[in-house]
Chains A and B, each alone.
Chain A
Amino acid sequence: MSTQNNAPHQLVERALELSRADGCVVLVDEETTANLRWANNALTTNGVSRGRRLTVIATVDGAEGTASGVVAREAVTAAEVEELVRAAEAAAREAGPAEDAQPLLPPGAASGGDFTAPPAETSIEVFKDFAPELGAAFARARAAGQALYGFARHELTSTYLGSSTGLRLRHDQPTGTVELNAKAGGSSAWCGDATRDFTDIDVAALQSRLDQRLAWGKRKIELPAGRYETLIPPAAVADLMVYLNWTTSARDAVEGRTVFSRPNGATKLGERLSQLPLTLRSDPAEPGLECAPFVLAHSSGDFQSVFDNGLPITPTKWIRDGELTSLQATRHTAGLTGLPVRPLVDNLVLETADQAGAPTLEEMIAGTERALLLTCIWYIREVDPATLLLTGLTRDGVYLVEDGQVVGEVNNFRFNESPVDLLGRITEVGRTERCLPREWGDYFSRAAMPPVRVTDFNMSSVSQAS
C-alpha cells in the first residue's frame, strides 16, 4: 500500500510542509488486524483488515490564546493531504482559544523508532500455529460434550508523529488477545490471555484450565446474596483497577467531583488506601506489557491534550505501598492543579514488594476456610462517583471454597462494590501475573495483577444467568 509518495513518514512531512498555521502536529496510524471468532466449536465471523488514518492538528495563535483544530481522515493519499491540512486550519480558526493550549514540544525529550521505515504489519498468518491448535480444541470439546466459544485478535499499529517544532517519533504497538469460553452440563468457564505475537499462547493449556473449572461445576450450590469473603483472580482485579485508574483525573479531583476529592479543593494524595504494601504502577517499558513511551493524542479530552503530543511517559506509581501518590494530569491540568504532570499509560501493574513470597491463587485456595472464588466480572458500570461505587456481575464460574478445596459451583451474583473501598479490605495478595481484563480488554489489555482475598465483598443479589 505504501508507495513512495504515500509512505507514512512522507505523508507526515508533506502535511508539515503544507501547513500555514502557527503550529502543526501530524499523526499517521497504519493499522493491520486479523481475527478469528468461534461459537459452538466452529469458526464464525473471521477477517482481516487494513486501515490508515492521518490526523492533522493545527494551532493558531490569537489575542485571547491559542486555538486548535483537529481533523482526521482515513485512506488519505499524498494528493489529498493539502485538503486535510486546510480543513484543520479552518477548524482552528473557527474554534475559540483552547483551554489546554501549551507550547508544542521540541524534539529530543522522547525517543521513538525508525521514522522512515515501513509500518509493521500483521496478517492471518499470525494464527498459523494457533488456528490448527484451535481446530484440535474444537474436536476435543465436541468429543467431551462441550461447546467452545471465543475470539482471538491480533493488531499491529504503527504510529508516526511529526510536528512543526521538529518532533519525529514512531511507535509500533502489537496487541493480541485470546478468550476461550467452554460450556457443558449447565456450567460455563472462561479464561483469557494477552499476547504480543501469539507465539506464547498454549491452547491446550487454556483448555485444561477450562476442563478443571467445568469439573468443579459438576456440583451445584445455591447461595443467597450477602457479603462474602471472596478470592478475586487477576482478570477481575484488573477490571476493577483499570476503572480506578480511569478515575484518577487530578483536575476532577481538585474540582471536588471524584472519589479522590477532599473538601476545599484538596485531594486524597498522600492518604492510605490500603494497609497492605500494595503498589499500583505503570511503566511503558514493563516487560511483556510494552506500550508507547510518549504521548500520542489524537484529540484533547479529560485524559489527554493534543498539545502534549510527544511528551515522554515515564514510570508512574499511582499507589505506593498502599498510599495514593499520583493523579493523572496533562501539562495543562498540572498547571491548573499545581500537581505534577502525569500522563495516563497504556499498561497497569498491581503488586506487593515481595513477589517471591507471594502465594499463587492455588496456594490461597489451599489456605481458605470458606470463601467464594470468582472467575471474572462483567457489565461494570459506575453507580456513584462520590464513592466510586461500581455495579456488575460475576460470570462464567463462581465457586465455593471450603477447608482448602473448591467444593462446587455457585450461582452468579450482581455486586455493588467500590474498588477504592475494596483496597482497604484486601487481607491477602497473591503473586502478580500477566492477565487479560475481561470487560475492558477491548481497550486495555496490558495488565499484570495478583489474585487478592477481600472481606465482605457485596454480592447484592443473585443472578439467574448461567
Chain B
Amino acid sequence: MPPTPSAPPARAVDPLFLALPLRPLADAALDRARQLGVSHADFRLERVRSASWRLRDARPAGSSDSLQLGFAVRVVLDGAWGFAAGVDLTPQAAAQVAEQAVAVARLSAQISRAAGGADVVELAEEPVHRDATWISAYEINPFEVPDAEKTALLADWSSRLLAADGVSHVTASLLTVQENKFYADTAGTVTTQQRIRLHPSLEAVSVDERTGSFESMRTVAPPVGRGWEYLHGTGWDWQDELARIPEYLAEKVQAPSVEAGRYDLVIDPTNLWLTIHESIGHATELDRALGYEAAYAGTSFATFDKLGTLEYGSALMHVTGDRTAEHGLSTIGYDDEGVATQSWDLVKDGVLTGYQLDRRMARLKGLGRSNGCAFADSPAHVPVQRMANVSLQPVADGPDTEGLFAGVQNGLYIVGDRSWSIDMQRYNFQFTGQRAYAIRNGQLAGQVKDFAYQATTTDFWGSMAAVGGPQTYLLGGAFNCGKAQPGQVAAVSHGCPSALFQQVNVLNTQQEAGR
C-alpha cells in the first residue's frame, strides 16, 4: 500500500481555488480525450500566485504580484505523448485543448514511425487516489499579511545593516509563492493540493571609495516551505544573523587572499546543500541518465548500468530522495502524475542505489512504481521528472562542526553559497561561498577571500572523511532550479550536516582572472 500523506487539519485549501470549475473542466477534457481514443489522459488546473518585493538601501525598488491560472491536458495516443494548455475556463475550451493535445500526439507518432522509431510511451502502474487533499506545513499564509508589513520589516532590517560601520549599500528581497494544483486522470485519481514557500534575503556591500574595491556578504538563511512565521524566528534566528553580517563583511574586506592549493574542507550545510544539488541531485535523475535532457541540461555520469555498483563516494555517504520532508520545497502529497510521494535511498554506504523517477521512466527501466518526481512549474508546461528533496544524512553520533575542525591541520571552513557551476555530465564542478575561514591545527584562524573549490564529483564524495551529527543538520535549498525545454524552474530543498572533505583543490580567483 502506498503511504498516505497527511496534512495538518488547521489549514484549508484556498476557497477561491475550490470555487473554480475544477471538475467540470476535467470531465470535459478527459471525456473528449477518451472519445479520441487515448490510452491515458490527465488534466491539471493550476493557480500559482507569486509575489516579490525588493528594496535598495531600505527603499522600495520594485514589487510584483502575479497569478498564473490555466490548465493542461496531457495524453498518450498511439504510444506518443501529446500536450496542450489553455486559459479559458470553460468546458468547451477544455475539450478543445484535449483535441489539441491529441493532435500533437498524432504528429509525434507519425514522425517517429516515419523515422523508424520503436519507442512507445507506457506508464508505471499507480494506485488510484480518489478525492485526495494535501496542504503543506505552514502557520501564516504570507499572502494574508499586509504588503506594508512586509516592506516595513525588510526596510527595518536594511536600515539596521546600513547603520553599521563599513556597510555602503544593502539589498533586501522577499519572494513568496502559493501553489494550488488540481489533478485528475482517466484512471480515476483526483487530487487537490496547496503549498506555500518563501525566500527572504539581504545582502550588504562594502565599497572602498578610494581604491574602488568592494566586497559583499549575504544572509545564508535558506528558502523554506513555511509561512510568514519564518521571518519572526520560526526555523531561523534572523536577529542573530543580521547582527553578525556587518562583522562578517568587515572581516572579509580585510581578509588575505587565499593561497591556492589542496586543503581539507569543512563545509557548512549552508554551502554543501548546493554541492549536493548539483553533483548528486541532478546526477541521479533517471531521465538525464537515459539521455532525455542531453541537448539541454545534460546527461549524467551515473548511468543506469551502474545502478548498484557505482562507488559514488565514501562509505559514510547516505543520500536520500524525499518528497515528504516537512517544510521541504519539493515536498507535496501527490506529484503531477497522480503518484503519492515517497522517500527512498539514492546512495547508501557510498554506492548508487536509486534514481528519481516519473511514471514513464519507472516503466521504461522495469523499476516498478514511480517514486513521485513528476512536476510542472506552470499550467502551461508539461510535467517532467524534477528533483525530490535530495539530502545527505547525518551520522547518528557524529560530531558537531567544531568537532570536525579538530582533526584539520591546514584547512578551510566554507559557509554560505555564492557561485556554482558543473559540467553537463556532473563530473567537474566549481563552487565559491559567502565566506571561508582558515583552519589551523584544529582552530579557526580568520577569514580568507578569493576562494573557489574545484573537484570531480566522485573524487570529492570519495574524500569525505567525517560527517557531522544531527545537531549540524540544516535543510537548505533554492527556488530556481532550471531544467527542461521549454525551460522550467523548480523549488527544491537539500538537507545535510557539516562534513569534512580531505585534500580538495582550492583556487585563488584573482589568479584565475589573470591578476
Contact = CB atoms under 8 A, between A and B. Distances in A.
Interface in B456-489: 456, 484-487
Interface in A437-460: 442, 456, 458, 460
A261 interface: yes
Contact of A74 (B62, B69, B487): B69
Interface residues of B, number: 97
A381 B83 contact: no
A262 B213 CA distance: 9
B317 interface: no
Interface in A69-118: 69-75, 87, 91, 94-100
B144 interface: no
A99 B295 contact: no
Contacts of B505: 461
Contacts of B212: 256, 261-264
B189 interface: no
Contacts of B294: 39, 149, 181, 183, 188
B42 to A, nearest CB: 13
Given A72-B64, A264-B209, A465 B111 contact: no
B67 A72 contact: yes
A299 B50 CA distance: 13
Contact of B430 (A153, A414, A458): A414
Contacts of B211: 263
B82 interface: yes
A73 B49 CA distance: 9
Contact of A135 (B111, B420, B513): B111
Contacts of B167: none
Given A389-B513, A466-B425, A43 B209 contact: no
A383 B432 contact: yes
Contacts of A245: none
A165 interface: no
Interface stretch (A46-54, A195-203, A345-353, A357-365): A46-54
Contacts of A434: none
Q: Which of A46, A142, A412 has most chain B Cβ within 10 Å?
A: A46
Interface in B89-145: 89, 93, 100-101, 103-104, 107-108, 110-112, 114-117, 119
A49 B295 contact: no
A46 B295 contact: no
A51 B70 CA distance: 8
Interface stretch (A273-281, A367-375, A390-398): A390-398
A408 to B, nearest CB: 20
A52 B65 contact: no
Nearest to B213: A386
A95 B428 CA distance: 45
Contacts of A43: 80, 107-108, 111-112
B454 A100 contact: no
B296 interface: yes
A40 B62 CA distance: 44
A142 B117 CA distance: 9
A99 B56 contact: yes
Interface in B48-81: 52, 54, 56, 59-70, 72, 80-81
B295 A138 contact: no
Contacts of B155: 96
A460 B454 contact: yes
B85 A383 contact: no
Interface residues of A, number: 101
A74 B423 contact: no
Contacts of A247: none
Contact of A94 (B147, B486, B513): B147
A100 B107 contact: no
B357 interface: no
Given A1-B88, A383-B419, A37 B485 contact: yes
A43 B384 CA distance: 14
Contacts of B509: 383-384, 389, 416
A147 B423 CA distance: 20
A412 B380 contact: no
A379 B56 contact: no
Interface in B304-334: none
B80 to A, nearest CB: 7
Contacts of A378: 298, 423-424
Contacts of B485: 35, 37, 151, 153
Interface in B160-217: 168-169, 205, 207-214, 216
Given A74-B67, A142-B116, A382 B428 contact: no
Given A95-B147, A395-B424, A461-B454, A421 B214 contact: no
B83 A70 contact: no
Given A39-B294, A132-B111, A135-B115, A381 B419 contact: yes
A94 B146 contact: yes
Contact of A75 (B62, B65, B70, B119): B70
A151 B111 CA distance: 15
A44 B358 CA distance: 14
Interface string A107-135: 00000000000000000100000011011
Nearest to A127: B107
A384 B513 contact: yes
Nearest to B150: A94
Nearest to A34: B104
Given A46-B108, A74-B69, A51 B87 contact: yes
Contact of B291 (A40, A263, A299): A40
B424 A75 contact: no
A265 interface: yes
A350 B205 CA distance: 32
B428 A465 contact: yes
B341 interface: no
B210 A35 contact: no
A87 B512 CA distance: 50
Contact of A96 (B59, B111, B432, B512): B59
Nearest to B113: A135
A46 B82 CA distance: 6
A42 interface: yes
A462 interface: yes
B60 A95 contact: yes
Contacts of B430: 383, 391, 414, 416, 460
A208 interface: no
Given A181-B295, A264-B209, A49 B111 contact: no
B439 interface: no
A9 interface: no
Contact of A151 (B205, B296, B298): B296
Contacts of B208: 256, 263
A67 B214 CA distance: 32
Contacts of B344: none
Q: Which of A43, A52, A460 has most chain B Cβ within 10 Å?
A: A43
Nearest to B87: A75
Nearest to A379: B421
B450 interface: yes
Contacts of B298: 378, 465
B422 interface: yes
7 nearest CB pairs, A to B:
A138-B115, A47-B83, A300-B62, A149-B295, A49-B85, A263-B212, A75-B87
Given A74-B69, A257-B169, A391-B430, 16 more contacts: A49-B70, A51-B85, A74-B66, A91-B63, A96-B155, A98-B60, A124-B104, A124-B107, A131-B111, A132-B114, A151-B296, A256-B168, A261-B214, A456-B514, A460-B512, A465-B425
15 contacts: A44-B292, A47-B85, A72-B66, A98-B61, A99-B61, A100-B61, A124-B103, A142-B115, A149-B291, A264-B209, A265-B209, A298-B64, A383-B432, A395-B423, A465-B428
Interface of A: 1, 33, 35, 37, 39-53, 55, 67-75, 87, 91, 94-100, 124, 131-132, 134-136, 138-139, 142, 147, 149-151, 153, 179-181, 183, 188, 190, 255-257, 261-265, 298-301, 306, 378-387, 389, 391-393, 395, 412, 414, 416, 418, 421, 442, 456, 458, 460-466
